[in-house]
């Protein structure tokens, strides 16, 4: 029976010599299905690494790529210090490769990783900005972008001043979250006045196939030749200023905030929601940010966003379920009752509710 298998690997090592030998070995094997190997890259998190893709027909009588007698295991035996992470997809299953063995089940989770590329074609025009030579500007940006938490990534190392800079970041995400992260990145880069030639790509984490490719500015995009040095410096200055941003700075642009903006706090532990509550501007914030977790977050004085909204007379801007005067107290009680119910103490929960009615809890 035919079993066509596609394999995608990320092969890494802290030793560039060993990794170079492994790459040369794969490219020069005689008995092989043939690996498509990228060049070696470097990132602070992964060290040196390169990506590989391959197709094989793993019939019983064919040479295998997976399994104890396959090519992946052969590579690991010859270069034991390599770390090999893999993903595969065949006619029946898909999933991770562990020690060269297939560990998948169905095909619903074929590519759980979201990989975002941000390409800056003309970044090197700002060569020397704040003492950064053009070859280090990619590292400066990589540590400050994107707007979401990521698990890994790398930045390209431009060889000449004409080379574009590519930053790539990856994290686990389902389809819905991928779209949210994509749109959030667009908003964030535009807010930072990113150059008009920036390109975003979504990439398959293992195969490096480009899933989506869009110009950040759409119809307003410019050719790299039309982007000036001052455009790039203007962007870099905004990125630098973002590091020391005060939550109050967001009060004039509450309609366009993103998730990571909530991480900025002042010396008293207030984030932008605390300040918006005091200023009576919670109605300008998108509903998805006004959830229980965010509204019950406390500052250094122990005051939550909800309490500040109550004090400053703007409860009407909160979700309807939170507009009651004693919401925080009821919420804490209902959370405790839920724990008791999960422990099987249903009768006790009913007795408590009979004596202390709670509009957030049902008997």
For 92, phi then psi, to 5°, come to -120, -35
Tell me the domain boundaries of the chain: 4-102, 113-242, 265-321, 324-363
Alpha carbons 169 and 148: distance in angstroms, whole number: 9
- DSSP state, 318? S
Q: Which two tokens stand for residue 344?
A: 């099987």
Degrees (nearest 5) of the Cα angle 250, 222, 158?
Answer: 90
Residues of the chain with pLDDT under 70: 1-3, 31, 44-46, 58-63, 94, 104-111, 206-208, 362-363
- DSSP state, 165? E
Q: Domain spanning 4-102 has what CATH number? A: 3.30.70
Contact 134, 127 (CB under 8 A): yes
Amino acid 1: pLDDT: 35
Q: What is the pLDDT of residues 111-124, one digit of tens each?
A: 577 889 999 999 99
Q: Is 309 exposed, middle or buried (0-12, 13-18, 19+ CB in 10 A)?
A: buried
Alpha carbons 292 and 301: distance in angstroms, whole number: 19
Alpha carbons 317 and 319: distance in angstroms, whole number: 7
Amino acid 107: pLDDT: 42
The CA-atom distances, in angstroms, between 344 and each of 151, 177, 213, 251, 334 are 38, 35, 52, 46, 15
Contact 266, 248 (CB under 8 A): yes
- Number of residues in the chain: 363
Give the bridge partners for 8, in sequence order.
53, 87
Q: What burial letters (b/e) apply to 321-357, b meaning 16+ CB within 10 Å?
A: ebebeebbebbebbeebeeeeeeeeeeebeebbeeee
Amino acid 245: pLDDT: 84
Tally of CA atoms within 13 A in the half-sphere of 303 that contains its CB: 17
Task: Classify the C-alpha dihedral 247-250-252-257 as positive or negative.
Answer: negative
Amino acid 172: pLDDT: 84
Same fold across 4-102 and 113-242? yes
pTM of the model: 0.64
The domain defined by 113-242 folds into Alpha-Beta Plaits (3.30.70)
For 199, phi then psi, to 5°, come to -125, 140
């Amino acid at each position: 029976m035919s079993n066509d298998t596609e394999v995608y690997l990320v092969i890494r090592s802290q030793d560039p010599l060993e990794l170079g030998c492994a790459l040369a070995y794969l490219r020069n094997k005689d008995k092989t299905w043939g690996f498509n190997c990228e060049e070696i890259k470097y990132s602070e998190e992964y060290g040196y690494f390169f990506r590989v893709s391959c197709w094989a027909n793993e019939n019983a009588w064919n040479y295998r790529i997976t399994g104890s007698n396959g090519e992946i295991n052969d590579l690991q035996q010859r270069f034991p210090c390599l770390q090999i992470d893999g993903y595969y997809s065949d006619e029946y299953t898909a999933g991770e490769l562990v020690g060269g063995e297939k560990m998948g089940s169905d095909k619903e989770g074929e590519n759980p990783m979201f990989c975002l590329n941000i390409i800056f074609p003309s970044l090197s025009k700002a060569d020397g900005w704040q003492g950064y030579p053009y070859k280090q500007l990619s590292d400066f940006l990589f540590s400050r972008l994107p707007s979401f938490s990521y698990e890994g990534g790398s930045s390209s190392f431009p060889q000449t001043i004409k080379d574009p800079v590519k930053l790539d970041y990856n994290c686990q995400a389902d389809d819905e979250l991928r779209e949210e992260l994509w749109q959030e990145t667009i908003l964030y880069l535009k807010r930072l006045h990113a150059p008009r030639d920036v390109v975003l790509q979504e990439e398959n984490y293992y195969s490096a196939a480009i899933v989506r490719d869009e110009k950040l500015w759409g119809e307003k995009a410019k050719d790299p030749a039309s982007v000036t040095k001052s455009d790039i410096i203007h962007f870099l200055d905004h990125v630098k200023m973002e590091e020391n941003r005060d939550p109050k700075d967001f009060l004039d642009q509450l309609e366009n905030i993103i998730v990571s903006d909530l991480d900025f706090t002042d010396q008293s532990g207030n984030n932008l929601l605390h300040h918006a509550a005091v200023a009576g501007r919670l109605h300008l914030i998108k509903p998805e940010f006004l959830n229980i977790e965010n509204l019950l977050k406390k500052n250094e004085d122990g005051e939550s966003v909800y309490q500040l909204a109550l004090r400053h007379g703007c409860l009407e801007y909160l979700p309807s379920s939170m507009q009651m005067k004693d919401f925080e107290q009821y919420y804490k009680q209902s959370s405790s009752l839920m724990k008791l119910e999960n422990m099987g103490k249903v009768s006790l929960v009913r007795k408590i509710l009979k004596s202390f009615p709670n509009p957030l809890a049902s008997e």
